[in-house]
Structure 1
Amino acid sequence: MKKTLFVIKTLILAFLLLSLASIPGGFAMGFSSASNPGASTDTPVFLTITLIGEIIVPIYLLIYYRAKNNLDALDIVMPFKKDKIAQKFGIGYLIGFLTFTIVFAVAVFGGGFTTKIVWSSKNIVLFVLMLIGFLIQGTTEEIVCRGYVQGRITEKLGVFWAIALSALFFASGHLGNAGVSLEGFVGLLAFGILTALLRFYTGDLWLCGALHGAWNFAEGPFFGTPVSGISGTELLFKSTSVPHHPWLNGGAFGIEASLTCIIILILLSALTVYLGQKYSVNKLDLN
């Protein structure tokens, strides 16, 4: 019973952290609506403000745990080791970008998307800001889901339940997104399991945070597809889903809901377990 209450409390607090992340973007949109009634806030500019504003979560956690002088807890919820940072970050970003590119290429060659170039030199500043913004957003979600949820639950219930519950919490956090479907939920669950495994085997969040940020950046500003149901982020390419091919393009929710994406994420998770069991100091009990 105590463990159940602990899990419930942890998930509620994690939900509040995600709610905190949305405050800066909500404030900016509210200010815009008040000063310019009728103006659209569904634009790359406001999305960028929302993404960068999510940095409020790691700042809050740093201040909170340092004020309590509880650095051990901070290392659990925000495990960022100081060794080989560039290497881990670079590998994570490369994995995220290339994995999405492969999934997207399969969809395009299978007839799931029509794609056109929409790039303009006027987009360069916004392109860079979105690159930074998606890194902040992706890393923040990893801090909440793989740092806070997975880290705390590992202490009470062990690695298996920590990975499962952090992935379920991550997928559930997107249920309010436009176009969400069962396939989309499964795709996000597979993504959550992959990053949870990376957090476990590496012992920190550098790699999975970079992977998450790279995936979302490739998905939206670069290739111009919906980012888990969020549209309107295209800056380099604009890709339109072809009807009757949801198993390739994921429909309105985006490519995470495609069968191709789910299969590739499962295969990548299996590869992560294989390499992790072979080379990492952390080992899953597979017996």
Structure 2
Amino acid sequence: MASIFVNEQGTVRNGWRAVAFLLLAVIVVTVLIAASRELPGHIAYWLPEVYLSALGVLAVTWLFMRLERRPIADVGLELSRRAACQFGVGMAYGAGLVLATALLVVALGGLHFEIAPQVSVIDIVKTGLFMSGAVLFEETLFRGYAFQRTVEGMGHRWALALFAVVFLLAHPMEEAMPPELSTIASANLVLAAVLLGQVMLRSGGLAMPIGLHLGWNWMLQTLGFSISGKLAFDSIWHPVFDSEVQWLTGGDYGIEASVLSLVVLLAAVLWFSRGQPAVKSAA
């Protein structure tokens, strides 16, 4: 008999599966991080919290797929030539979106670039590897099992809207941010979440959204922009602001708070909204 928790087939409804996944993932990640902080420093150094977080979400994903008697590849996590190609394409998309935004700001006189005084390729690679853990964590959490079960239960439009809100709440704005920058940055976060969700739905896997997210962050780092308000280090270029109009440049928050980023992301969302998603949807 169907109920609020169980469907006509006698299985737990997708919505409750998604909620249970997110709750367990948060608990597991919290426990792993707390445990790592009790370790001696020389051991904890080799266990970055971003990678522990990613490992925790991957473990919970494996558990839930195991309970459904389905391979973890069905959630879009696989090592294959196709996944590698999608990852590379995603990297190019993400880097290209940031570069397009930066060039628009430059063209409108908002800033120019100078070579950073000290450039260390090794440090840039290390930063990219660190970013990889954070991106893997966020994409498996926000575009993985929970998102896909929500798509199956509510349809892709509702799932995109719901997880865009969740993504925004997971990236709170700093209280000291000017209201106009906070509004633009929040809108950009929502659009970025929708875009990443669309890419997952169109590609049918997590490789492309992981690549896009990493390409976006890494290009921000390379150009010397702040990432979600956090100052970038070890960049190749250094942005020098020529305009005090913060809604144009994003100010100290970076171009993720620029209105031009809003335009570029909106164009990307409209582009990826064409056609049908590859992931099965309820609507």
- The answer to whether TM tops 0.5 is yes
Instruction: Classify the TM-score, shorter chain.
Output: 0.7 to 0.9
Higher-Rg structure is: 2
Answer whether contact 1:107 1:249 (CA < 8 A) is retained.
yes
Q: Is residue 131 of structure 2 the alignment partner of residue 131 of structure 1?
A: no
Which sits farther off after the overlay, 222-231 or 65-74?
65-74
Answer whether contact 2:54 2:134 (CA < 8 A) is retained.
no
After superposition, give the CA deviation of every residue in 1:44-75 in whole Å (9 maximum; x if it has no partner): xx9xx89x542223423444455674352744
One-letter amino acid matched to 1:172:
L
Paired position in structure 1 for 2:270: 270
One-letter amino acid matched to 2:270:
A
Q: Is residue 159 of structure 2 the alignment partner of residue 158 of structure 1?
A: no
Give the 5 Å matches for 1:107-256.
Answer: 107-120=105-118, 123-177=120-174, 179=177, 181-220=182-221, 222-242=222-242, 244-256=244-256
Give the 5 Å matches for 1:101-112.
Answer: 101-112=99-110
> Aligned-pair distance for 1:225?
0.8
Paired position in structure 1 for 2:70: 72
Q: Please give the secondary structure, in 2, of the residue aligned with 1:72.
A: coil
Q: Please give the secondary structure, in 2, of the residue aligned with 1:137.
A: helix
One-letter amino acid matched to 2:170:
G
Q: Please give the secondary structure, in 2, of the residue aligned with 1:115.
A: strand
Distance in 1, matches of 2:32 and 2:233, equals 19
Answer whether contact 1:163 1:196 (CA < 8 A) is retained.
yes
One-letter amino acid matched to 2:149:
R
One-letter amino acid matched to 1:86:
A
Distance in 1, matches of 2:281 and 2:63, equals 34
Distance in 2, matches of 1:106 and 1:20, equals 44
Inter-CA distance 20–238: structure 2 relative to 1 (3 Å threshold): farther
> Aligned-pair distance for 1:131?
1.8
- Find the partner of 2:51 among 35, 52, 55: 55
Distance in 1, matches of 2:103 and 2:249, equals 10
One-letter amino acid matched to 1:262:
L
Work out the percentage of aligned pairs sharing the same amino acid. 21
Unaligned runs of 5+ in 2: 6-12
Q: Please give the secondary structure, in 2, of the residue aligned with 1:204.
A: coil
> Aligned-pair distance for 1:219?
0.6
Inter-CA distance 149–72: structure 2 relative to 1 (3 Å threshold): same
Answer whether contact 1:170 1:188 (CA < 8 A) is retained.
yes
> Aligned-pair distance for 1:105?
1.0
One-letter amino acid matched to 1:124:
V
Number of residue pairs matched? 263
Distance in 1, matches of 2:202 and 2:196, equals 10
Paired position in structure 2 for 1:96: 94
Distance in 2, matches of 1:59 and 1:155, equals 25
Distance in 1, matches of 2:139 and 2:23, equals 16
After superposition, give the CA deviation of every residue in 1:154-210 in whole Å (9 maximum; x if it has no partner): 233222221111121112211155747111110010011001001111111101101
Q: Please give the secondary structure, in 1, of the residue aligned with 2:138.
A: helix
Which sits farther off after the overlay, 265-274 or 187-196?
265-274
Inter-CA distance 110–67: structure 2 relative to 1 (3 Å threshold): closer
Distance in 1, matches of 2:19 and 2:63, equals 25
Answer whether contact 1:14 1:149 (CA < 8 A) is retained.
no
